[in-house]
A and B are shown apart, each in its own frame.
Chain A
Amino acid sequence: MASAAGSAGGAGAGSGGLKTYFKTPEGRHKLQYEKTHSPAVVHYSHSGKTVSQMTVAYLKEKPAGQGSTPSTPSAGSGMRSAAARLLGTGNGSRALSFGSNGTSRAVSGSSRMGGGIGVSTSASGSQGMANYDGKGAYIIFNTADTLFISDLNSHDKDPIKSIHFSSSNPLCHAFDPEAKDGHDLLVGVFSGDVYSMSLRQQLQDPGKKPVSYQHFVNRDKDKDKDPSQGGAASSRSTCVAWVPEREGIFVVSHADGNLYVYDKCKDGNTDWTFPTVKDQSQVLISHAKSSKSNPIARWHICQGAINDISFSPDGAYLATVGRDGHLRVFDFAKEQLIFGGKSYYGALLCCSWSADGKYLLSGGEDDLVQVWSMDDRKIVAWGEGHNSWVSAVSFDPYWSPPNSDETEENVMYRFGSIGQDTQLLLWDLALEEIAVPLRHPSGGSPTFSSGSPSAQWDNACPPAGVLQPSPRMRDVPKLSPLVAHRVHVDPLSGLEFTSESILTICREGLIKIWARPIHSESNQQPDSSEQVVGNATAKDKMLTSSNKAGASSPSFKQPPPVLFT
């Protein structure tokens, strides 16, 4: 821990005014360490070309009787794998959201500098090859034309693996911890194609290129010569996701409003075509004519880009958010729209599910976080607090309410959001407090004291398959954030919750790992007096943050008067 503290101190000094911790009722979240791409990439000015995204991948123990022999003989276990701590995955890993996408700022490949970054020395190149047959937790992130893999539990800032995509820049990626035959990592690229590969094999291989990959070619982009669709950039991949509980099936969303369903066991280079979409704003689901075709289906969902997709944890439902500002929730197996709604205004950029599948979050260009209820099939709350577009939203599956032992009826959730305002916000969602006014619209609720209730609230539950219009600002209950913390210098693009930390990534590819507060009794004992002071300060800070978040943008550049060591 001493070395971590030293590292955090150094990072704090370099960050120019950004604090290296933030407080919640549970305690202090400290900046533990940072990850970024190798220094060679920094010299290659790629600013504004792609937005870095982050995926957390947990590799399980390789079964003894399976798996291919590594192409390169293993040099034996090195220091790196020895440093890796054992992490239980269980249900937690399945609840993690994958590869949340901010709006991609990819430009045409033809204008990109040829040859990429050339040969850059990998951080692990000079060392012996580590053995990646065992367990491990990794962070996968993309910058420019390279996919990087870092060890989540190592203090090294540099990635342990770089994979260079020479033909098209990687934009999004997803990992399936339950994959059975080895290919567990998906990478979507600017051209609209997708690659699947084995994360373990990439780690074992010393080269800079993907190995043993399967290439799924998107041929539909040839159909979209319509200049109003914007040409090549409109076919870029925006999000990739494995379908939970459906082995080998994955979906890819694109900037032209199309979503394709692929089977990873089928050939990825087949001839296929789908009917032309006549009305870009209507949902149109087409199935492949030939059984050999891959993708097996195309869903045209909205006009403009699909910015993010998210499956419910059981794989039954698929949520999409798009450029047209709509969230749409589909029954994936039945291929039917369950419900949908619109942002206050502007595009929606991200979405994710609660671990129990009952609620959805979305965020977008109106600076709001939307909370949607699957049971009610509509919006239940808006979160106000960001000062710019919301890039990622995620429930915290490892958080439990403080008094959860007392009663099960008092359901509470914790979720987080990050935005282009460089802020991480944490929110508490107590549904009983919010849901009551909506369930009794005829009552004397202050929400409806002015004017008559809108037609949409007269119905307790909208009918299935309907897209709800944008509500008025005064009609939706508002949430305020519990914590507002400026965590990066650059706008943020990704947020991940793990059992021991919160991970944030900015658009430029810097990752910060915030350690969760430690709850054990033995650690609390020596700091009891400091703990009291800490609580008081935390309370004042939270009030200040909450007030500032509502009134004006908070400024965290002033160092706190009391430093905790």
Chain B
Amino acid sequence: MVMGASGSKLEKALGDQFPEGERYFGLENFGNTCYCNSVLQALYFCIPFREQLLEYYANNKTPGDAEENLLTCLADLFMQISQAKKKTGVIAPKRFVQRVKKQNELFRSYMHQDAHEFLNFLLNELVDILEKESSAAKDSPQSSSPEKAPNGPVQPLANGVKKEPPVTLVHKSFQGILTNETRCLRCETVTARDETFLDLSVDIEQNSSITSCLKNFCSTETLNAEDKFFCDKCCSLQEAQKRMKIKKAPHILVIHLKRFKYIEQLGRYKKLSYRVVFPMELKLSNSSDDVDTEYSLFAVVVHVGSGPNHGHYVSLVKSHNHWLFFDDENVEMVEEQTLQTFFGTSHEYSGNTDHGYILFYEGLGGKS
């Protein structure tokens, strides 16, 4: 642990407003690991997730025969931060990064990586580990539970009974349910299929807002002409309307802005620097609930740079009503107003290349 100069400056800036029991630590960069550091900071300040992870780790850790995995490395890192003696400083997440590279060859190179891919990989890996440990704890006669991707469809079994995967602490925090509805325009039959998600990936448009991007995500799409829908009731291809509805809103809503778009002519990905504003508060309508879920923004992972393979990631995190800026080792306090500089730009070729990429919203307890 290294006490940096920026750390003491942060303590001075906060003064007696420094939250009790909180720690603000930068993470060392081992060569293009900022995609990892920025996501880790956002997850660390997802308080329900952090608390559940540390509690699970404390309850289930058996010294000696414990096998090291991504969950233990993440929990160790979180423990290192939360139990540090100093309030500020820098920590080297060496074990965690090594474990990531060992488990996924995609992250083995020293190339720049996509933060959203890393977040998806990490959450799904944690789910796998927790489900294995859960089934092992049950001493189930099944030797191996079937592999199930959390973002995939919930497949009904042959006898029509759904086999619900165990609810892990990851699901408690991040999982929501989408309903894909298809309505045949001839017989008006609605076919619904549920799908779980840990985050929402939304397309973006220039000079829009997260509100309108989410609206477009749930907007109605017509299937006609060459793209007709085969209706089981009509036993033929018919025109239909398809749409997505949020059946169950997650406790932590993670929104991924699709800023990297494949351009056929160029044969590579291009970054969309579109200006997409995001508010500090948000609401989602549940189709199964009568009330709307209210959310508060607590973290933003920002991509810095002009393309997917060049650049840098930083994160902004809200902690006890302060906003903090984490740039690998450096931690400093910023004003809420600063978040507006990461909305994007209205001009395609402006100098500003800092754009909000992954938004983290926490559900407020009561529903309005």
Contact = CB atoms under 8 A, between A and B. Distances in A.
Interface in A362-382: 365-367
A470 interface: yes
Contact of B211 (A233, A367, A472, A551): A367
A325 B281 contact: yes
B340 interface: yes
Contacts of A387: 205, 207-209, 212
Contacts, number: 105
Interface string A535-560: 00000000000000001110000000
A230 B346 contact: no
A551 B219 contact: yes
B273 to A, nearest CB: 13
B285 interface: yes
Contact of B15 (A227, A389, A473, A489): A227
Interface in B222-275: 275
Interface string B346-359: 11001110000000
A104 B17 CA distance: 26
Contacts of B341: 48, 105
Nearest to B321: A228
B125 to A, nearest CB: 33
B335 A230 contact: yes
B322 A105 contact: no
Contact of A389 (B277, B321, B350): B277
B164 interface: no
Given A387-B207, A491-B346, A553-B205, A345 B14 contact: no
B109 interface: no
Chain A binding surface SS class: loop
Considering residues B279, B292, B333, B341, which has the most beta carbons from chain A within 10 angstroms of its beta carbon? B279
Contacts of A422: 207, 346
A126 interface: no
A238 to B, nearest CB: 12
A347 B333 CA distance: 22
Given A227-B322, A344-B283, A421 B209 contact: yes
Interface string A468-508: 01101100000000000000011100000000000000000
Contacts of B216: 552-553
Given A48-B352, A551-B219, A552-B216, A345 B207 contact: no
A386 B13 CA distance: 39
A281 to B, nearest CB: 12
B280 A367 contact: no
Contacts of B292: 472-473
A388 interface: yes
A345 B295 CA distance: 9
Nearest to B322: A228
Contacts of A45: 351
B328 interface: no
Interface string B3-15: 0000000000111
Interface size class of B (residues with CB under 8 A): 35 or more
B337 interface: yes
B122 interface: no
A552 B17 CA distance: 45
B368 A47 contact: no
A469 B208 contact: no
A420 interface: yes
Interface in B277-308: 277, 279-283, 285, 290-292, 294
A490 B277 contact: no
A201 B340 CA distance: 37
Interface of B: 13-15, 17, 205, 207-209, 211-212, 216, 219-220, 275, 277, 279-283, 285, 290-292, 294, 321-322, 333, 335-337, 340-341, 345-347, 350-352, 368
| A-B residue pairs, 4 tightest by C-beta | A346-B279, A365-B279, A387-B212, A230-B335
Interface of A: 45, 47-48, 103-106, 226-228, 230-231, 233-234, 255, 325, 344-347, 365-367, 386-389, 420-422, 451, 469-470, 472-473, 489-491, 551-553
Given A228-B17, A346-B282, 16 more contacts: A47-B347, A47-B350, A227-B14, A230-B336, A230-B337, A234-B335, A255-B337, A347-B280, A365-B209, A367-B212, A386-B212, A388-B277, A420-B209, A420-B277, A421-B212, A473-B292
7 contacts: A45-B351, A105-B341, A365-B280, A388-B211, A470-B368, A490-B346, A491-B207
